[in-house]
Amino acid sequence: MEGREILLGVTGGIAAYKTADLCSKLVQAGARVTVVMTDAATRFVGPTTFEALTGRPVYREIFEPQEHFRGEHIGLAQRAELMVVAPASAHFLAQVAHGFAGDLLSTLTLTITCPLLVAPAMNTEMWNKPSVQRNLAQLRADGVLLAEPGSGWLSCGQVGPGRMAEPGELLERIRGLFATAADEGSAK
């Protein structure tokens, strides 16, 4: 993971607190992490948390460049080796499944050329809706990698599927993706 460039997207959901833990684990493993947050995500975890963990600015606005004056959606996409979105809300999944680019995070999914790994997190009732399942099927068909949610106690008080994958599980999945990429590169 040393020196790998990871774009870490955070959408609105209580599971965003787990993403801070994932971010910390990635940085400790030597990855260079850039965080992009939706406005809804900032209601759960503040950008300052991720800035402190990464030593980099957090990106939120598509039309207010901080670093890439051709557009953050171009510059950030070009340097990313992997994009991870955790938690991935039902809204975000729908945006990506249908190619909507309404904010910086969803726009990045259209400009990246690296793999995209999403870790959905939502209420059980939302997870079970046919529309959400159709969007997930479309994402799989489009080559998006999915870190399936677990089942258990949810912040809404329900017990069932919808818990975001644990940070340690996501870290191992990310390590595996980089190891597979390295193996494929050495086989060529």
User: H or E stretch including 50?
Assistant: helix 47-54
Pairing of strands 5-10, 82-88: parallel
Determine the Cα–Cα distance for residues 118 and 132; give it in Å rounded to an integer: 14
Active site residue 156: yes
Determine the Cα–Cα distance for residues 154 and 151; give it in Å rounded to an integer: 8
Determine the Cα–Cα distance for residues 144 and 137; give it in Å rounded to an integer: 10
Tokens for 180, please give them.
Answer: 């597979």
Say which of 94, 114, 146, 156 is annotated catalytic. 156
Determine the Cα–Cα distance for residues 76 and 33; give it in Å rounded to an integer: 11
Q: Which residues are part of the catalytic machinery?
A: 156
